[in-house]
Structure 1
Amino acid sequence: MNVARLTSSISTKRTVRREEKNNKVKSCISEKEILDIAWKYFQQHASQRISYFNFFVLFSSFMTTGLITTFHPQFRAHAVGVAIGFMQVFLSFIFWKVDERNKFLTRIGENAIKEIEKKYELEGCCQHNPHPIQMFLHEVAQTENVLNDQKNVPFLKKQISHSKSFNMIFVVYAFVGFCGACFAIYSHYNPPSLMQSNSINFSGNLPASARISVFVNSSSLRGATPDKTSVVEKRSISANSTSINRTTTTKTKILPGKYSCPQPSKEVCPQPPKVVCP
């Protein structure tokens, strides 16, 4: 009997001590402090989510500009364009996953604040109609009402969440990067030919004292038939810092299967240069 009394007294003392510890913990942390902890947690991850998204938009815009620049005729860096395009697709995927994680962490702080708001005893509030002071609970109820009212409204006039808006931007940048990489691969294996250009410049092979620019209408050359002549006009000559504008006519004969360069007349250029045609 004495042993049973001792064990029961020891167990009761332990339970009393546990209750005292719990009461001390409850008294040390007030409800306001719990709300501050939950709010700081929510604010940290919400601001982190926005800052990551802003960095993604800025960085992806620079990458898109560089991708477009690689297609310029002065550069034609198709290998760099392929690398930038696929890198943009990869970064869009990574930032999308980071945004999903930040969204999950933000919801944890949001749910903690909602549990604290449920303890508020306010007049005229219920589960389906929270008081406006209960901001997080009130926002959920109002969002559900708006979505129910906008079921038959066109998509452009509907309210969409931040997550859907962010996901749309991620998809757009990934699509731009993928299309740019594919076009860079196509341009690398299918370069533009000489006959597709609208002008042929012979000024690089001439001395500085006599610069001649011959403009050829490529459409007339492509449509010419054998033994048919095409007329080349618009010839500008500048010599010894004196500009002389003349309009002459030079006949060029198109042979079957060959392309012949227009030869300037003796009146225009006394010493025409030797031009090697491809």
Structure 2
Amino acid sequence: MSSSFDPSIESEIRNHCWNYFSLHAQQRMSAFQFFITLETALIGAGFFVLQSKPQFADSHLTIMIGPLMAMLAFIFWKIDQRTKDLIKNAEKSLLEIESFFLKNSTVVQHLPFSIDQQNPIATFPIFTNRLTYTKSFGTVFVVCGFLGCAFTFALITSLASK
């Protein structure tokens, strides 16, 4: 960006970058909420089947609960990676815009994206870095994948013992 741009174009660029960031950040949260809802339903179905009467527990379709949980964890993890990359692209653009304003303004001293780059937030004593959405979501995806494998094993064992 150079100072020879028309201010309305600069405003359009800022709005475009912010809308891009906002859209993908909201999309990431919505996708994660949907994943949690699906996994909760599958976990509930798994527990129901494990504790149910034989008409449900004997169904071979129930063995698919665990693999479905693991598959959904993998798919949503890959979707989250893509959305995270889109958000990072928007963050880079917004940081460039903020840097331009900081260099060309005597009034503005701090802006959110530039402050985040300069001043890392203090970490929790046992963690070496920040706890981010990526780490948090990744942990949930891994746990749900392992739960899916555990449910598969438990359901197969349950069916084999009957």
8 Å contact from structure 1 (residues 88, 173) kept in 2? yes
Which one has a bigger Cα radius of gyration?
A: 1
CA distance in 2, matches of 1:165, 1:104: 16
Match of 1:114 among 76, 95, 116: 95
Task: Note if 1:65 corresponds to 2:65.
Answer: no
Q: Which runs of 5+ in 1 are unaligned?
A: 1-24, 126-130, 192-278
Counterpart code for 1:101? R
CA distance in 2, matches of 1:91, 1:139: 33
CA distance in 1, matches of 2:52, 2:133: 40
Q: Which runs of 5+ in 2 are unaligned?
A: none
Name the counterpart of 1:146.
122
Counting aligned pairs with the same residue, the percent is 28
CA distance in 2, matches of 1:158, 1:81: 41
CA distance in 1, matches of 2:20, 2:57: 49
1:123 Cα deviation from its structure 2 partner: 5.4
Correspondences of 1:7-26 after superposition (within 5 Å): 26=5
Classify the secondary structure of the residue corresponding to 1:70.
helix
Cα deviations by residue, 1:104-131 (Å, 9 ceiling, x for unpaired): 0111111111001111235599xxxxx4
Correspondences of 1:262-277 after superposition (within 5 Å): none
**1:73–1:34: structure 2 CA closer, same or farther, 3 Å change rule?**
closer
**1:35–1:114: structure 2 CA closer, same or farther, 3 Å change rule?**
same
| Structure with more of its chain in strand, by fraction | 1
8 Å contact from structure 1 (residues 71, 78) kept in 2? no
TM-score (norm 1): 0.51
Correspondences of 1:155-234 after superposition (within 5 Å): 155=127, 159-191=130-162
Task: Note if 1:80 corresponds to 2:61.
Answer: yes
Task: Note if 1:44 corresponds to 2:20.
Answer: no
Classify the secondary structure of the residue corresponding to 2:149.
helix
1:95 Cα deviation from its structure 2 partner: 0.3
| Structure with more of its chain in helix, by fraction | 2
1:186 Cα deviation from its structure 2 partner: 1.4
1:159 Cα deviation from its structure 2 partner: 4.0
Match of 2:76 among 83, 95, 101: 95
1:182 Cα deviation from its structure 2 partner: 0.8
**1:100–1:163: structure 2 CA closer, same or farther, 3 Å change rule?**
same
8 Å contact from structure 1 (residues 84, 181) kept in 2? yes
1:77 Cα deviation from its structure 2 partner: 3.4
CA distance in 2, matches of 1:138, 1:183: 49
1:141 Cα deviation from its structure 2 partner: 2.2
Match of 2:112 among 122, 135, 153: 135
Classify the secondary structure of the residue corresponding to 2:90.
helix
- Aligned-residue RMSD, C-alpha: 2.5
Counterpart code for 2:161? N
* Larger RCO of the pair (alpha carbons < 8 Å, separation 6+): 2
